[in-house]
Structure 1
Amino acid sequence: MNDQTTRQTGFLMNVLVVGGGGREHALAWKIKQSPRAQKVFVAPGNAGTARDATNVDIAADDIPGLVAFAKENAIDLTIVGPEIPLVAGLVDALEAEGLRAFGPSKAAAELEGSKVFCKNLLRTADIPTANYQTFRTADEAGRYIKDRYTEPNDPVPVVIKADGLAAGKGVIVCETRTDALEAIDRIANQREFGEAGAELIIEEKLIGQEASVLAITDGETIITLPAAQDHKPAFDGDTGPNTGGMGAYCPTPIVDEEMMAKIEADVLVPVVHAMKRSRRPFKGVLYAGLMLTAAGPKVLEFNARFGDPECQPLLMRLKTDLLEVLDAAADGKLRELDGLEWDERPSICVVMASEGYPGSYEKGHAISGLDAADQVEGVKVFHAGTSMSEGKVVNSGGRVLGVTAMGSSISDAKLQAYKGVKQIRWQGAWCRKDISDKARLVETK
């Protein structure tokens, strides 16, 4: 039944969600609500997905294991959450066995897997982005900085990025020449981000507010989702090191209808056409990380999957059957959909993290108050870095939970989310206290 040629619209489906983070918990939770969802598996999952679906003890990057499971369990659609298996070619491996999958091919996922590839594509397609240079060695990059900035404390408004995947952490914003040279050393010499630092980019620092605009595409049709705003820096006031994301909210008032139309016309449509021209047709979630500058929106990066934590507040608001949408995208039939229906209420996700994140942290601390948090009006707790130990939910990752809430306004959604946060305890737990405050400032102007 899972061969594309024998698929019939409306049949019950066995679904496999690949990954074990908050994004995958949100995907499994939303897909489980579909009347067409028969069995929903998550590999490897976490303590939260074990409640809302069925966990499978297969790592997200174990491509042979995932393909074998999909064949043996008559999986009708595999939804790939994280970037690592996408870049490694999981979708290609599934489709080679006649199995249906939602997500880009290995070639298309290079849009996220290589920042150098992404920037070169943006330049070729004339899509607005920061000016940049690429380098293969620390010496080359260092000379570039030293030739342009002679004094150690001279202002050096640049951003230095590792080329490859670095779990959202391979981007260093610099203020001085000393900062820039240290960043180059960390990426290219110390290999703080592993092989992701084999190449690096130095680009101009853009000024403005960031926004995340995600779209679902089958390579021909694009369905744009409401704009969200992520909070990458670790601490309040956007200070501290970059993380995988400390919280997000949706929609963001800084992207109005006019701005969204410009983003679609100048960014999303051109990149889909450019990928098709380069014989890497993109199917899946196209995530544009944008800086809204005085000169208009410019691309910071592209991701090839749902953002985490943007996925959580987005799916809280989605009324349309998600499985129907992803099923149509996998078959190239998005044009047959009437569009998506959204709850008008905003939603906020607050990430609770382990002490020490994004650096080293301890695991195995028992978490209490999860049921109490879920009982707060409008709240759903999505698990990310959790597992079960001796019958208890414990922290097993840096970003542990995404406490997500809806409310009548952004202020109300924030209030409900932090009510949920206050119910939850474990040793060393912490979170940012200002998620969505930038939106509230826009609202009051």
Structure 2
Amino acid sequence: MKFLLVGGGAREHAIAKMAAEYYTVYSCMPYKNPGITRVSEYKILDILNPGQVADYCDEVNPDIVFIGSEEALFHSVADEIIKREHLCIGAKKKAAEIERSKAFMRKLLEKNHIHGSLRFKTFTDVETALRYIDEYAGSIAIKPARQAGGKGVKVIADLQAYLKEEKKDAKKKHASQIVKEQLSQDLEDQILIEERVEGVEYSLQCFTDGRNIVPLPLVQDHPHAFEEDIGPETGGMGSISGKGSLPFMEEGEYKKSMEIMEQSVRSVEAETGEPYIGVITGQFMLTDKWGPTIIEYYARLGDPEAVNIMGILENFDEICEGYVNGNLAKISAQIKDVATVVKCVAPKGYPNERDMGKNRKLQIDIEKIHNLGAEVFYGSVYENGSLYTGGSRAVEIYAEGDTILEAGKTAEKATAYVTSDWKLFHRHDIGSQELLDKRMRTAQLVRDVYQYRAEHNLIGRNIDWIPGIGKIET
């Protein structure tokens, strides 16, 4: 059988490697990913051009098309492929709006009263956003209203009264920067402001045919650039998965997360008139307000979370064929019983000054990495005689172990064999005992609070104290 993959990053490299175990793989990508080209016949083209991608599908006549790239989904590539009667794993443009527009997603959750919805406001221009910031002194998250690959998200805790004006200035500066960088230029809504929540994040990735959902194991991404969860938000600096589940999650929390996913999939169909058919990933946080709380949705597998999953999914072919044949009801994911850790290596300059990290020569000792039992997946790199960085996350190192700690140690050792004449960085703490202990403590703290709130009918309610007025619900 022929399998055609659309996309050229580390996520797609992991998908291509898995697909090559079952199929003859073809791929199309905007630049030559050296990992994907080793396991597929490939074509370099504009993957955001539906006609070009669909023409390549007509040429290959694949049995299955798999779209990995979110931007391809946003540009109606799945719509055109399906129109030409190819079997495609990938959401149509209307359904993919749940990722493309964070404003659409928030409004959808609110309209359908879905558990875990946060208070939010959207703004079509920066002036209105700045006036709102002047009036509202709370702790908030300020984001582009559009998916921007992890760029432009800033969470500001406004807790100290003596820093009120400084925090207000920081909020205004960031809101203005979002518009200046045109991160939401193709949407009416430009800026999204949400209430700030704290807790532990986790990703739930699923295949769905619009009626049935096949969930994959939980993975935790690490979006902050530097150790101890500090620094700017990125597309993800690494990820972990445990045997069976993440060590800080309880079964009831997983079930509630699945309920939220199911309600959201049904709500997309009710809103757009089309069933949500494709891959969907919920980026959740366990918070003291709700328990499982949606931070954002992806209309595709996560990156780097897909790398964890592709390493342990034992019936990828069965899921893909069940999906395109409308037979997902009879299928569940078969998972290898190991823990996994992924560590992303990026050039200095990522994520905010990406041009600094472009065109830097990269050396990778594949043999030594493989001898450790680890694997390399190529992200933002290109090949021109030698390997060069593209400015974003260059490679993702994958390792397995009996525990997350064991897998983390292997992945950490492997990073030593990725070098450059330019400074590279990665997060040493991903998969460490210290960070796992921190996650466990945080999860238990928020669990104690949200369970208390649930027992007292306070779950999801916003209750504030106003001096001279007293307790009010907002």
TM-score (norm 2): 0.85
Unaligned runs of 5+ in 1: 1-12, 150-155
Task: Tell me which amino acid in the other structure corresponds to 1:348.
Answer: V
| Match status 1:51 vs 2:38 | yes
Which one of 174, 180, 186 corresponds to residue 156 of structure 2? 174
Separation of aligned partners in 2, 1:196 and 1:436: 38
Instruction: Give the match's secondary structure for 2:118.
Output: coil
Q: Which residue of 1 aligns with 2:407?
A: 413
Superimposed CA distance per residue, residues 367-418 of structure 1 (whole angstroms, 9 cap, x where no aligned partner): 223313442333111000122112x222223110000100111110001101
Separation of aligned partners in 2, 1:441 and 1:412: 17
Please give the residue correspondences for 1:184-223 in structure 2 after superposition, counting only pairs within 5 Å. 184-189=175-180, 191=182, 194-195=185-186, 198-223=189-214
Please give the residue correspondences for 1:228-307 in structure 2 after superposition, counting only pairs within 5 Å. 228-251=219-242, 252-265=246-259, 267-278=260-271, 279-294=273-288, 295-307=290-302
Q: Which residue of 1 aligns with 2:346?
A: 353
> Structure 1 residues 105 and 255, CA, compared in 2 at 3 Å: closer, same or farther?
same
Separation of aligned partners in 2, 1:213 and 1:137: 33
Q: Which residue of 2 aligns with 1:110?
A: 97
Instruction: Give the match's secondary structure for 2:363.
Output: coil
Separation of aligned partners in 1, 2:398 and 2:186: 34
Q: Which residue of 2 aligns with 1:41?
A: 27
Task: Tell me which amino acid in the other structure corresponds to 1:310.
Answer: E
Contact 2:203 2:219 in 1 (8 A): yes
Q: Which residue of 2 aligns with 1:4?
A: none
- 1:284 Cα deviation after fit: 1.3
| Match status 1:341 vs 2:334 | yes
Task: Tell me which amino acid in the other structure corresponds to 1:304.
Answer: A
Range with greater deviation from structure 2 (96-105 or 427-436): 427-436
Contact 1:229 1:250 in 2 (8 A): yes
Contact 2:205 2:215 in 1 (8 A): yes
| Match status 1:309 vs 2:304 | yes
Separation of aligned partners in 2, 1:432 and 1:408: 21
- 1:192 Cα deviation after fit: 5.5
Range with greater deviation from structure 2 (174-183 or 282-291): 174-183
Instruction: Give the match's secondary structure for 2:44.
Output: coil
RMSD: 1.9
> Structure 1 residues 431 and 194, CA, compared in 2 at 3 Å: closer, same or farther?
farther
- 1:264 Cα deviation after fit: 0.9
Contact 2:122 2:189 in 1 (8 A): no
- 1:297 Cα deviation after fit: 0.9
Please give the residue correspondences for 1:137-176 in structure 2 after superposition, counting only pairs within 5 Å. 137-149=125-137, 156-175=138-157, 176=167
> Structure 1 residues 193 and 121, CA, compared in 2 at 3 Å: closer, same or farther?
closer
Task: Tell me which amino acid in the other structure corresponds to 1:377.
Answer: L
- 1:201 Cα deviation after fit: 1.2
Identical columns (%):
27
Task: Tell me which amino acid in the other structure corresponds to 1:408.
Answer: D
Task: Tell me which amino acid in the other structure corresponds to 1:284.
Answer: G
Superimposed CA distance per residue, residues 339-393 of structure 1 (whole angstroms, 9 cap, x where no aligned partner): 1111121101100001211122233333223313442333111000122112x22
Separation of aligned partners in 2, 1:404 and 1:196: 36
Separation of aligned partners in 2, 1:28 and 1:179: 43
Contact 1:16 1:70 in 2 (8 A): yes
> Structure 1 residues 131 and 403, CA, compared in 2 at 3 Å: closer, same or farther?
same
Superimposed CA distance per residue, residues 93-143 of structure 1 (whole angstroms, 9 cap, x where no aligned partner): 011111111011110000001111101110112121211111111111111
Separation of aligned partners in 2, 1:357 and 1:424: 16
- 1:195 Cα deviation after fit: 4.3
- 1:197 Cα deviation after fit: 8.3
Instruction: Give the match's secondary structure for 1:291.
Output: strand
Task: Tell me which amino acid in the other structure corresponds to 2:261.
Answer: L
| Match status 1:424 vs 2:413 | no
Q: Which residue of 2 aligns with 1:7?
A: none
> Structure 1 residues 340 and 179, CA, compared in 2 at 3 Å: closer, same or farther?
same
Q: Which residue of 2 aligns with 1:331?
A: 325
Q: Which residue of 2 aligns with 1:381?
A: 376
Contact 2:369 2:417 in 1 (8 A): no
Separation of aligned partners in 2, 1:93 and 1:332: 20
Q: Which residue of 1 aligns with 2:49?
A: 62
- 1:190 Cα deviation after fit: 5.0
Please give the residue correspondences for 1:360-379 in structure 2 after superposition, counting only pairs within 5 Å. 360=354, 361-379=356-374
Task: Tell me which amino acid in the other structure corresponds to 2:214.
Answer: I
- 1:253 Cα deviation after fit: 1.5
- 1:68 Cα deviation after fit: 0.6
Contact 1:376 1:419 in 2 (8 A): no
Contact 1:328 1:334 in 2 (8 A): yes
Instruction: Give the match's secondary structure for 2:436.
Output: helix
Q: Count the aligned residue pairs.
A: 421
> Structure 1 residues 332 and 439, CA, compared in 2 at 3 Å: closer, same or farther?
farther
Separation of aligned partners in 2, 1:245 and 1:180: 23
Task: Tell me which amino acid in the other structure corresponds to 1:221.
Answer: N
> Structure 1 residues 350 and 373, CA, compared in 2 at 3 Å: closer, same or farther?
farther
Q: Which residue of 2 aligns with 1:26?
A: 14
> Structure 1 residues 180 and 323, CA, compared in 2 at 3 Å: closer, same or farther?
same
Contact 2:24 2:40 in 1 (8 A): no
